[in-house]
Amino acid sequence: MDIWQESVRKDIEDMKVDIRRLQDKTLLQDQSIQNIQGDLKEIKEDTKWLKRTITTALITATIVAFCIW
C-alpha cells in the first residue's frame, strides 16, 4: 500500500508540474495573440489611409481629365 501511495503522490506532483507548464505556455500564447492583434490593427489603419489616398488620387485625376477635355 505504501508503494501505491508513493506512486500516486509522484503522479500528482508530475501533474502539478505539467499544469504549471501549460499555464505558462498559455500565458505566453495570450501575450503573442495580443501582439498580433495590435499589429493587425495597425495594418488595418494603414490600409484605410492607403485606400483613402488612392481614392482621392483617382477622383482628382478624373476631375482633371474632364476639365482638360
At residue 64's C-alpha, the angle toward residues 62 and 68, to 5°, is: 120
Summarised one tens digit per residue, pLDDT across range 15-57 is 999 999 999 999 999 999 999 999 999 999 989 999 999 999 9
Tell me if residue 69 falls in helix, strand or coil: coil
Is the predicted pLDDT of residue 1 greater than 80, yes or no? no
> Counting beta carbons within 10 angstroms of the beta carbon of residue 38, is it exposed (0 to 12), middle (13 to 18) or buried (19 or more)?
exposed
Q: pTM of the full predicted structure? A: 0.63
Residue range of the domain that includes 54: 32-69
Residue 24 lies in a domain: no
The tally of domains found in the chain comes to 1
Residue 42 lies in a domain: yes
Is the predicted pLDDT of residue 69 greater than 80, yes or no? no
Residue 69 lies in a domain: yes
Residue 8 lies in a domain: no
Tell me if residue 1 falls in helix, strand or coil: coil
First vs last C-alpha separation in the chain: 100
